[in-house]
Structure 1
Amino acid sequence: MVEYIWAFLVGGAICFVGQMLLDIGKLSPVQVLVTLMIFGMMLDGFHLYDFLISVAGAGATLPITGLGHSLVHGAMNAGNNGLFSISDGLFDMAAVTFVFSILFSVTVALLFRPHGGV
């Protein structure tokens, strides 16, 4: 039960920061997306995001910061094998996220019709 509470608190805090960037910072959604991804990348670069995942589980892996963590973590792990393997490692850990996002988007686009006009 405690794992669910931590997942809710950490995931909620990440989403709260994103919402504050939208409302108070007046950033566009794309800018918030990039900001949160870079934040996740920086935390993983300093080896702090793994601790956050161990505490919060899905609360840390599901928000967009988790994708930034996956990209950097894969690149850092593959970097030990040489410079040219970094691009392979970059997408190894994040491939599932990309595939699921594309399949979900195509499914929703096929099932629902957008409304034209205002």
Structure 2
Amino acid sequence: MDYVKAFIVGGLICVIGQILIDTTKLTAGRILVVFVSLGVIVGAFGWYDKLIEFGGAGATIPLPSFGNSLAKATLKEVKEIGLLGAFTGGIKGAAAGITAAIFFGYLMALIFNPKTKK
């Protein structure tokens, strides 16, 4: 049943993205920002944790989860060190994910022959 829940949650997030692609003139980069921003907002209210409890990997893998991680890390840092945490929390919370994305992106560029889209 966990697989079904993950598929439903992840699938709904993908469906929302596809609807945005098909019905708006938003670029992929802007849709990415929308998803991350929504993850921050929903995570700041604590609602994304409930979605993770229900959907598991279907909620933790997509982009809104990155925004949720930013929100959680920022709130934690603000509680610990005050206002300065609003500036440092997100960076600390997302450092591992950003580092992995840069490393694996570079590795794939070395292995494969990247080309620009025409």
Please confirm whether the aligned pair reaches a TM-score higher than 0.5, indicating the same fold.
yes
Change (3 A) 1:112 1:5: same
Give me the identity figure in percent: 36
C-alpha offsets along residues 1-44 of structure 1, whole Å, 9 cap, x if unaligned? Answer: x1111111101111111111111122100110011111111111
Which amino acid is 1:55 matched to?
F
Structure 2: distance between partners of 1:26 and 1:5: 32
C-alpha offsets along residues 52-84 of structure 1, whole Å, 9 cap, x if unaligned? Answer: 111111111111101000001100111112111
Which amino acid is 2:90 matched to?
L
C-alpha offsets along residues 71-111 of structure 1, whole Å, 9 cap, x if unaligned? Answer: 01100111112111333321233222111111110011101
Q: What is the correspondence of 1:54-73 to structure 2 with a 5 Å cutoff?
A: 54-73=53-72
Structure 1: distance between partners of 2:115 and 2:41: 39
Runs of 4+ more than 3 Å apart? 115-118
Flag structure 1 segments of 5+ consecutive residues without an equivalent: none
Give the count of matched residue pairs. 117
SS at match of 1:93: helix
Corresponding residue for 2:49? 50
**TM-fit CA distance, 1:47:** 1.1
Please, what TM-score do these two structures have when normalized by structure 1? 0.90
Corresponding residue for 2:27? 28
Flag structure 2 segments of 5+ consecutive residues without an equivalent: none
- 2:107 equivalent to 1:107: yes
Corresponding residue for 1:76? 75
Give the aligned CA root-mean-square deviation in angstroms: 1.6
Corresponding residue for 2:96? 96
Please, what TM-score do these two structures have when normalized by structure 2? 0.90
